[in-house]
Amino acid sequence: MTKKMIALTLCFVFLLSLVSAASDNTSLQLEAGEFLKDINVYRGYADGSLGLERPITRAEFAATMVRIVGPQNISKEALQAIKFTDVKSSHWAYYDISIAAASNWVKGYEVDNTYRPSGNITYGEVITILVRVLGYDAEAIGQWPTGHIDVANKLGITKHLSAEPKRVLNRGEVAILLREALFVPIK
C-alpha cells in the first residue's frame, strides 16, 4: 500500500467514526428527550416535536429546572425582589426565572441587570446551574465555569456529553445532561 492509500484509508476511518459518534449522540438525545417528555419535564412544540435540534434558551432552561425541582418555598416578597430589566411580569417564563434566581440557581448579567431570557444557554451555564441545583456549588473550586465542570465530571453528569464552555447547546444535548443529573443525589 502506498502512503497516499494509507492516508486516504485513515481519513475514511476517521470520518466514519465521526458519523458513528454523531449518530450515537443523536440517539442519546432522542432517548433522553423522550425520557424527559415521559416524566413531564420536556414539553413539545405546536408541531408535536420536542425540537431536540433547536438551541435551548435561558428562559426554557429555567422553566425546565423549575419543572424538575418543583416550585420552591419562596416568599412572594423574595420573588418580587428579583427584577431583571428584560424580564417583565408578562413574560411567559417570568415566574420560573424568578424562582430560579431567588433560589440562586441562575444569575443575571450584573453589567446591565439583565437575564437575557431569549438568549441561548451555553454548556458552561447549564453545568453551573445543574451543580447549583444539586447542592454542590461550594465544591466548585477555581475559575468559572471550570470548577463547576470538574464537579459535574466527578458526579457523572457529563459522562455522555462534554463541550467547550461557551458552546451553545441544543435541547437534545441538554436532555442528555438533565437525564444524568436526575440520578445524582441532591446534597
pLDDT tens across 68-110, in order?
998 777 888 877 788 899 999 999 999 999 999 999 999 989 8
User: Of 173, 122, 128, whose CA–CA distance to 151 is shortest?
Assistant: 128
* pLDDT value for 2: 55
Residue 18 has pLDDT above 70, yes or no: no
pLDDT digits (tens, 9 = 90+) for 146-172: 999 999 999 999 999 999 999 999 999
**pLDDT (tens digit, 9 = 90+) per residue, 22-73?**
446 889 999 999 999 999 999 888 888 899 999 999 999 999 999 999 877 7
Written as one string, the DSSP assignment of the chain is --HHHHHHHHHHHHHHHHHHHHHHHHHHHHHHHHHHHHTTSS---TTS---TTSBPBHHHHHHHHHHHH------HHHHHH---TT--TTSTTHHHHHHHHHTTS---BTTTTB--TTSBPBHHHHHHHHHHHHT-GGG--SSTTHHHHHHHHHHTTTTT----TTPBPBHHHHHHHHHHHTTSPP-
Type of residue found at 62 = A
Q: How confident is the model at residue 1 (pLDDT cuts 50, 70, 90)?
A: low
With a CB cutoff of 8 Å and minimum separation 6, the contacts of 147 are 139, 140, 141
Q: What is the C-alpha to C-alpha distance for residues 16 and 35, in angstroms, rounded to an integer?
A: 28
**pLDDT value at position 76?**
81
